Structure 1
C-alpha cells in the first residue's frame, strides 16, 4: 500500500479531514470514494498516535448510529488503523463502563483531533456493537475482543456495500424450520359445533 501523508504541504489537512467525519458522510453518494481516500491518507506509519486515535475514536462513536452496510466497512477500517499503529492498542484494552458517556474523556464536539482526548478513551462503542441486531455486524465487532492479527483486512470490496446487497445475502441463507406449537382453530370463536368448521377449518 502506498502511504500518502500530505501534512507537510497542508498543515491543517488532517484537521479538515477529521471535521468531515459526520453522520451525513455515511449517506453521501461519494461515501465509497471518501473512505477510499481516507484509508490512503491514514496509511502512513509516520502519523502521530494522537491523530490516529482521534480518527479511530470518532469513527467508533459515529458507528453507534450508522446503518449495517456502513458498519461492515467501518469496523475493519478502525481495526486496520490500530494494526498500523500498535501504540493505539490501549484503546481496545482499556476498561470502561459500557455505554457510559459521562465517564468517557473523549470530546466528540472538539474539531481539533489534538484536543479530543481520544488517547485517554476506549473503543467501547465497538463492544456495544457486539449486541447489534445484524449478525454479520456482531461477528465483525467480535474481532475487537480477540488479539488483532498484524494482517490488515481488505476493505475495498466493502466500500460500496449497499443495504440491498445485505438483504439479498440474508434471503439466500437457509434457515432451519422454526418449531411452533399451536392448536388449529375449529369453528368461529373456537366453538366446536359450528357450521363454519365444516367449510373453513384449518
Structure 2
C-alpha cells in the first residue's frame, strides 16, 4: 500500500505513522476519493478495506481522523456523502484493551529491539524500578524506547476510544437522511456504545429517534434499554411513550420482529404496576392473525400467572370500559376491563392462534417455560398457511362404512330404496 510506504520512508531513519494523516498523503487522497466519487464504493472495495487494512491500528485510527475532518468540512453535505461517511465509520472497531508492542499490527510499525541482555537489561530494570514499574513493564518500556511518540500513542485503547467518539459526534451533528439514521439506531446498542468513553452522550440521538415514532422509535428501544440498565439513564414517561408507539404500523410493519423482542425486554420487569401491564395487554390483543402470535405470546411473557392477569381473565362485563384511543395507560381504564378477547381468540379459525390463546387457561407454575417470541414474531399470512398444511392430523374414527365402488352392485347394507337409483346410473353410463 502506497500509504504504508510513505509512513515508513518519509523521514530518514524513523517510521512515522502520522504520515497517514498528511494533507497530500496517499491515505487521505484515497479516502477523499471514496467519499466524493460519483458512484458509491462497491461492497468488494469496502470489504477489502475492512479486512486487509482497518485491522491495522494506525489505519483505523487515522480513518477516524479523516471521517471527523470530512464531517466538519460542510455544514450540510449532500445525503449521499453522509451515507458514505457512515459506511466508512461502521467499518471501524476500536481495540478493547491496550495493545502490547509485539502484538501491535500496523501498516507502519517501528522495528522492535532485540531482547535486552546483560548490562542493558539491568539498566532498563533499574530505570523501571525507579519509575515504580514491574518486570513486565520494564520489557514494555525497553521495547518502546525507540518508538516515535506518534506510534506509542496508538497502543492505548483510550486514544482510539476518544477518536472513535469524536468521529461519531461529528457525523451525528450533520443532517442525516432517514435510512442512514436507522442504520445508526441499529448500530448504537452493541456496535457503538461499548466503544465510547461516555455512552450517555448518545442519549439525545436515541431520544430523537424515539420521539419520531414509527420505525425509528422501534429501533431506538434497544439503545435506550442499554442506557437504562447498564448506564443508569433516567427516562421519565418512557412507558407512556412506549404505549403510544403501539400502533398498527409498529405491530404489523417490516420491523415487527425487532419490536416484539424489544417490547418483551421492557415488559419483563416484575416491578411494573398492574394498570400498566393491563393496558399493554389490552392494546396488544386487537391485531390481525399474523400479529396475534406475538401479541398473545407477549402477554404470556409479560403478565401471565400474576394476580392482575387472573383477575382480568375472570372478569365479565356487559360493556368494555377500556379506552383504546387513550394515549396514557393510566387513563385507559384497563384494570376495570377484562381480557374477553382471549376467549374470542380461543375460538379463532386459525388453530395455532387458538392453541396459543388456550395457554391462558393453563395454570402458571414456576417451572412453566415462557413462550419464545423470536420464531413467532416473523410469521406472515403465507407462513401461517404453510404451517397449517404441514401439520400431522390424527385420523378420526367415523361411524360410516366406506363404499366399495362408485358404480356397480350395491354394497352390502345399502337401503333397498337406493338400489333402483344405482341401477339407473349404471344404465346411463
Aligned to 2:312: 91
On the 8 A contact 2:316/2:338 being kept in 1, the answer is yes
Q: Which residue of 2 aligns with 1:133?
A: 349
Measure how far apart 1:174 and its partner are: 4.5
* Structure 1 position 23, deviation (Å): 2.3
- Equivalent pairs counted in the alignment come to 182
Q: Distance in 1 between matches of 2:291 and 2:284?
A: 11
2:388 aligned to which of 167, 170, 177? 170
Structure 2 counterpart SS, 1:120? coil
Q: Which residue matches 2:26? A: none
- 1:155 and 2:380 equivalent? no
Deviation at 1:70, TM superposition (A): 1.9
1:1-202 correspondence to structure 2 within 5 Å: 6=228, 9-60=234-285, 62-63=286-287, 66-67=288-289, 69-83=290-304, 85-97=306-318, 103-150=319-366, 151=368, 152-174=370-392
> TM-score with structure 2 length normalisation?
0.37
- 2:385 match: secondary structure: helix
After TM superposition, the score normalised by the length of structure 1 is 0.74
Larger RCO: 1 or 2 (CA < 8 Å, sep 6+): 1
More displaced stretch, 116-125 vs 147-156: 147-156
CA distance in 2, matches of 1:118, 1:79: 17
Q: Distance in 2 between matches of 1:172 and 1:48?
A: 41
Whole-Å separation in 1 of the counterparts to 2:364 and 2:317? 19
**Cross-structure match for 1:188:** none
C-alpha contact (below 8 Å) 1:91/1:119 kept by paired residues: yes
Q: Tell me, which stretches of 5 or more residues in structure 2 are unaligned? A: 1-224, 408-423
Q: Which runs of 5+ in 1 are unaligned?
A: 98-102, 186-191
Query: Given that residues 127 and 144 in structure 1 are in contact (C-alpha distance below 8 angstroms), is that contact kept between their aligned partners in structure 2?
Result: no
- RMSD (CA atoms): 3.2
Q: 1:15·1:112 contact (CA, 8 Å) conserved in 2? A: yes
Question: Separation in 2 of the partners of 1:166 and 1:116?
Answer: 32
CA distance in 2, matches of 1:12, 1:42: 14
Contact 1:82 1:89 in 2 (8 A): no
The alignment partner of 1:35 has SS state of helix
Change (3 A) 1:21 1:110: same
CA distance in 1, matches of 2:335, 2:348: 25
Deviations 1:162-181 (A, max 9, x none): 322222222223555998x9
